[in-house]
Chain A
């Protein structure tokens, strides 16, 4: 089973946290100690993008 972590892993290392330069805001590990197959990502949506969610 391929891990979703492949999306945010580059050269064997996590690139998180990242500033996405999109409406997603900043994306970071929801819990860096998570060892299970299910990973948690946290997003901090800000600015105009956040306004759209209010």
Chain B
């Protein structure tokens, strides 16, 4: 295990490599190898395999939720969810009518996420190869740089995303009709331990967006 000071120094060096000069602006760096509030939890009486959890994994209006929280509490869930969501989208895009026409037209796919490992999976590369995200420079990927288009399909990976994601930038949780889908309100139940926590920013909570 490397010393925390060394870890902090590596992070600062990495930041300065990406954004030259930023090291002079950094006042402090904290490093956590583990943060309990970053982990989804199912309360007593709930399970990641129950009906409510299955609903979370179902797409709604071409919006897909993916991330560790949809399948498990750890990074394996991010990978599993990435495969699930991308597989569903690929099937949808390849579907044809009896006349051979595409059954659905979608705008370029956009991932909305501050996280996770799924982004580094083969699924991510697959999306890039298909140029569904070709308009976005890989090294400076602004997940929410463009407003959603009608019927745009998006993958949302993390319910703990900032309020700016959930509210101010017309996030996927609002969908193309700006409605927050009722199915996903059930995500709230996955994060009961966050409610009221001393270090919990309520602005990050999924329950914050106004729903229909």
Contact = CB atoms under 8 A, between A and B. Distances in A.
A20 B141 CA distance: 8
Contact of A53 (B22, B31, B113): B31
A26 B114 contact: yes
Interface residues of B, number: 40
Interface string B1-37: 1100001001100110111011001110001010000
B109 interface: no
A24 to B, nearest CB: 5
Contacts of B44: none
B75 A46 contact: yes
B182 interface: no
B164 interface: yes
B114 A22 contact: no
The residue in B7, B114, B119 that gathers the most chain A C-beta atoms within 10 A of its C-beta is B114
B138 A17 contact: no
B141 A46 contact: no
Contacts of B17: 22
B59 interface: no
B163 interface: yes
A11 B33 CA distance: 34
A35 interface: no
Contacts of B14: 20, 22-24
Closest 8 A/B residue pairs (Cβ): A28-B114, A4-B25, A17-B114, A7-B19, A32-B162, A15-B142, A32-B164, A24-B14
